[in-house]
Each structure stands twice: as C-alpha cells, then as structure tokens.
Amino acid sequence: MRDTISPIDGSVYRSTKEHGLKDIENTISKAHKVFPAWAALSIKERAKYVTLFVEAIVADKADIAKEITWQMGRPLGQSPGEIQGFQDRANYMIGISEDALASYTPEDQSPGKRAVERVPLGIIGVMSPWNYPFLTSVNAIVPALMAGNVVILKHSFQTPLVAERYAQAALQAGLPKGVFQILHLNHKNTAQLIADPKLGGVCFTGSVKGGIAVQQALTNSFISCGLELGGKDPAYVRADANLEHSIENLVDGSFFNSGQSCCGIERIYVHENVYGKFVDGFVSLAKKYRLGNPLEQETNLGPMVKTEAADFVRTQIAQAIKKGAKSLIDEALFPSSKKGTPYLSPHVLVDVDHGMEVMTEESFGPVIGIMKVKNDNEAIQLMNDSKYGLTASVWTADMDNAQSLGRSIEAGTIFMNRCDYLDPALAWTGYKNSGRGVTLSKFGYEHLTKVKSFHFREIK
C-alpha cells in the first residue's frame, strides 16, 4: 500500500494498493485484445464514447475539486478551474479530430490511387504528475483515444483519486473493456510497463530526471515518446509595458498553485526605466496573498505538496541571499509560513544573477527573482541562458517587436502580455531540457499516430 499524505495537515488522506508485474501483464493483454476493434470504429463513433467519458468526470466537479485540494493542497477556490479547463481542452480536441486525422490525397491520382492515412500507434502509456492532475493527463488521454489508440494511465501516488475518477468515468461512459485502464505503479514497475514490446507510445509529464528514466526504459525500443518536462520560464517587461497589467498577471503567474507549475513564471527581467515601479508594485501585491488552510475560501496560497519541496525552495532562497540577493518580503507577514511544514510564504528576490540557482534551476515554488536589464538584447541573452525552454513572455505595447523578439527566444511558446496558459488550438511543446514532442492542437495528433501510405496501380 502507498499512502497519500495531505499537505493540508499531514494526515493520510488515501491508501492505495500498488499494482505488480502480473497486473501489468493482464492490463496490457486486455488493451492489446481490444485495440483492433476500437481502432476500427469511425472517428464519430469514438467521439460519442469519449464525450460521455468527459461528461462523466465533469458531472462530479464539486467533489473532485475537494479531492484535488486534499491531495495536493491547491486552494479550494481555485481547484474547480482545473475541471473547467479539462473540459475545454477535451472538447476542443474532440472537435478537431476529424480534420486533424483526415487522410491526404495527392492531386494527381493517375495511374491508380495514392493516399496517406493517419493510423493509431496502439497502446499508449500515459504518466501524469500531481500538480495539475487533470490538465496534464487530458492533453494525452483524450486525443489518444480519439485517434484510435487505447490508453493505460499511471498517475502520481500523490493524486491517485484522479486515476480512479478516470476509471469510473470510463465505466459510466460504456467504453469497451480494456480501452482505458489505470495502474498504480512504483518507479521500477513503471519502467517495466514502458519497456513492454506491446506498447505503441508513451506520454510522460514530469521532471527532467523522470524523463531521462523514461528514455532509459525505452533503450531497446523505437516507439513514440512524448516528454513534457521542467521549466524555468522567463518574463521580460519592456519599458513600454502596461505596468498595472504586467504586475497583476506576473504575480499570479509566479504564485498561482504555490508556484508549482511547469509553465509558471520563475524569473523576471525588467527594463531599467520601469524597474523600480515594477518591483514596488509586484511586492505590494504579493504581500496581499493569504497563505493558509486551502479549504478556507479566503486562502489564495496553499501549502506546497510536501515539506521536502518547500525545504528545497527555502534552500534556494538561502543560497541566493548568501550570494548577495535581497529578499523584499518579510516572512513574518505570513504566520502560517513555518519551517518543517509545506507552508511557505511568497518570496521576491532582487540583486540576483545567474550565478544563483534560484535563477537557473527549476524552483517549482513560490519564489521569484527579478533582474534589471538595459535593453532587449540583454533581456534575450538572459532569457536564453537556461537549459530549459517551455514558455517565455514579453510584456509590451509593441506587438511587432514582441514577434521579432519571440523568434529569438528559445522556448516552445511565446506569450505577449499573458503567461502560464495553454491554448488547446496551439501546439504545446518544449525546447532543450523542457522536453520533446507535441500535445494539443492538430499537431498533437501527429504524435499520437503514424502515417501509412497507399500506392495502388490499376491494371486494365
């Protein structure tokens, strides 16, 4: 059994039975048997099933929101937004499936017939994390099913009830037995699942270390592997930026979900002409956060997922201060913030540089470093001085300039005047150590299918 320890009060919220090698074997066998029949269905027929699947989850959104909060600590007032986002992404990917999966036919068909079709990969193993347990998993699960694949979901032991909710919804929607299954696995057995020769693809969301482990498990395989990994996402506030808008959105982008977002803001570069005003406004707004019990409606900053995670961020902050950084928020303003607990106040650091880990290594917590820059070139150089490249944002009144700067920024998504957001119509992908592959949009379907060419010659 594996215990899920709630970060709210340290209690055991759920004990989950681990699945073993025999369970993996049986699960893969069921998936392998049902795959041909599921793949043979039309896209419209699959859409009926998957739509019911999604609706079954959304119907319990109030209870699910409470479960999310208890399992990983996000404030209860914010958890329902994840279920709405889940529904929006799922419905979008269902809606574009026919166009995205349409076959390609060259104009010249003489002599005979030529076409290229998209066909499913087979069994897709989906490995999802706890921080956005539905939003990370839906990116792979729904399009995988719509493309004709069958899915085995392995979710984090921090959020096992999310996997159980998916399994329950599959039953309610009447999905054929074996089309969607879950497994609760430790790291060793997860590697066994990934390495099984019957798997057709893997979609993993998690740490860089976890992504490397997935690659190692696939050493003897050439199957499709999508990896959404870490981030150290930067923002650049230009001199012409709307400061009020920039401050409001960047504070939210830094501290929402206690900073536990792969695409959250982790470092900010501000033009010297507006640096002072920006920092003052940022700190003033950050001080208004309410850290505490996430079950209370007035709380907008909950605990981090584990004490160890909070201690990691505390260590980054201490190292930065030792090297000359200055903290602008007194932790005494947040009585709930205590060492030895997962409750950590928001932190704003200035006088930082790239010799400090807080500006180069993923923090995944409520801390932000802000640096002054002289011009666009310096900002771009610093933004690209990272081993990560998931998203980046430019805050400016000049869209043409933002477009030009964006082409020089090494990241999969470039935002202007917004951050920490996924548009399902756009490809979600990472550069460098932030991963490989694509989810969402029509391009996401390309990574959950393979192409098959038909070249027929008619003999008369």
Q: Give the bridge partners for 57, in sequence order.
A: none
CATH code assigned at 113 = 3.40.605.10
DSSP H or E stretch at residue 216: helix 208-217
Task: Give backbone dihedrals phi and psi of 275, rounded to 5 degrees, phi first.
Answer: -55, -50
Q: Are the C-beta atoms of 15 and 2 separated by less than 8 Å?
A: yes
Whether residue 220 is found in the same domain as residue 258: no
Is 303 part of a structural domain of the chain? Answer: yes
Whether residue 203 is found in the same domain as residue 289: no
Q: Structural domain of residue 18, as residue ranges?
A: 2-229+434-456
Whether residue 200 is found in the same domain as residue 306: no
| Distance of alpha carbon 82 from alpha carbon 66, whole angstroms | 12
Q: Which one, of 410, 433, 421, lies nearest residue 229 by Cα?
A: 433
Whether residue 220 is found in the same domain as residue 239: no
Whether residue 191 is found in the same domain as residue 266: no
Whether residue 146 is found in the same domain as residue 113: yes
Task: Strand 150-155: give its sheet, edge to edge.
Answer: 180-183, 150-155, 123-128, 199-205, 224-228, 435-436
Torsion (CA) 31, 33, 39, 42 in degrees, nearest 10:
-110
Whether residue 220 is found in the same domain as residue 246: no
Is 326 part of a structural domain of the chain? Answer: yes
Whether residue 73 is found in the same domain as residue 102: yes
pLDDT in single tens digits along all 460 residues of the chain: 999 999 999 999 999 999 999 999 999 999 999 999 999 999 999 999 999 999 999 999 999 999 999 999 999 999 999 999 999 999 999 999 999 999 999 987 777 889 999 999 999 999 999 999 999 999 999 999 999 999 999 999 999 999 999 999 999 999 999 999 999 999 999 999 999 999 999 999 999 999 999 999 999 999 999 999 999 999 999 999 999 999 999 999 999 999 999 999 999 999 999 999 999 999 999 999 999 999 998 999 999 999 999 999 999 999 999 999 999 999 999 999 999 999 999 999 999 999 999 999 999 999 999 999 999 999 999 999 999 999 999 999 999 999 999 999 999 999 999 999 999 999 999 999 999 999 999 999 999 999 999 999 888 7
CATH code assigned at 298 = 3.40.309.10
Whether residue 400 is found in the same domain as residue 439: no
Q: Are the C-beta atoms of 70 and 63 separated by less than 8 Å?
A: no
Whether residue 33 is found in the same domain as residue 127: yes
Q: Give the bridge partners for 454, in sequence order.
A: 115
Tokens, residue 231: 């981030």
Is 289 part of a structural domain of the chain? Answer: yes
Whether residue 124 is found in the same domain as residue 252: no
Whether residue 442 is found in the same domain as residue 418: no
Q: How many domains does the chain have?
A: 2
Q: Which one, of 449, 447, 411, lies nearest residue 432 by Cα?
A: 411
Q: Which one, of 382, 390, 386, lies nearest residue 420 by Cα?
A: 390
Is 429 part of a structural domain of the chain? Answer: no
Q: Give the bridge partners for 150, in sequence order.
A: 123
Sequence-distant (≥ 6) Cβ neighbours of residue 191 within 8 angstroms: 213, 216, 217
Q: Are the C-beta atoms of 312 and 81 separated by less than 8 Å?
A: no
Q: Burial of 332 by CB count in 10 Å (0-12 exposed, 13-18 middle, 19+ buried)? A: exposed
Q: Which residues are catalytic?
A: 228, 262
